Amino acid sequence: MQYRQGDVLLVKVEKLPAKKIKIEREKGRIVLAHGEATGHAHAVDHPNAKFWEAGDDRYLEIPEPTELRHEEHGFIPLAPGVYQVIRQMEYDPDAMEGHHFVGD
């Protein structure tokens, strides 16, 4: 199961990693990502939801149905579960100029 809102992708996983660190809320809500241009945020308000960090990965734990909200995108209903939070970046070919990759 997956949910996408703007540049945030939530992918359902079986369970949380064993080693993780809790990420604190911002002004009472879990902020998955801040918008680069507008400052708006992809956020969850549910009081029992938790946000975790395990190495470079982040996870959202939702015990009950809730909503992922964003000022520009509206909301997406989320089913209970554990989701890996992936921040997707837009492809910008100009930003890649001058970079060389294996096989070039």
51-101: pLDDT as tens digits: 999 999 999 999 999 999 987 777 899 999 999 999 876 544 554 454 444
Local structure of 57: helix, strand or coil: strand
- For the entire predicted model, the pTM comes to 0.79
The verdict on residue 35 lying in a domain is yes
Which domain range does residue 64 map to? 2-90
The verdict on residue 100 lying in a domain is no
CB atoms inside a 10 Å sphere around CB 51: 21
CA distance 26 to 44: 10
* Six-digit token string for 86: 């992936």
The verdict on residue 26 lying in a domain is yes
The verdict on residue 95 lying in a domain is no
Domain count, the chain: 1
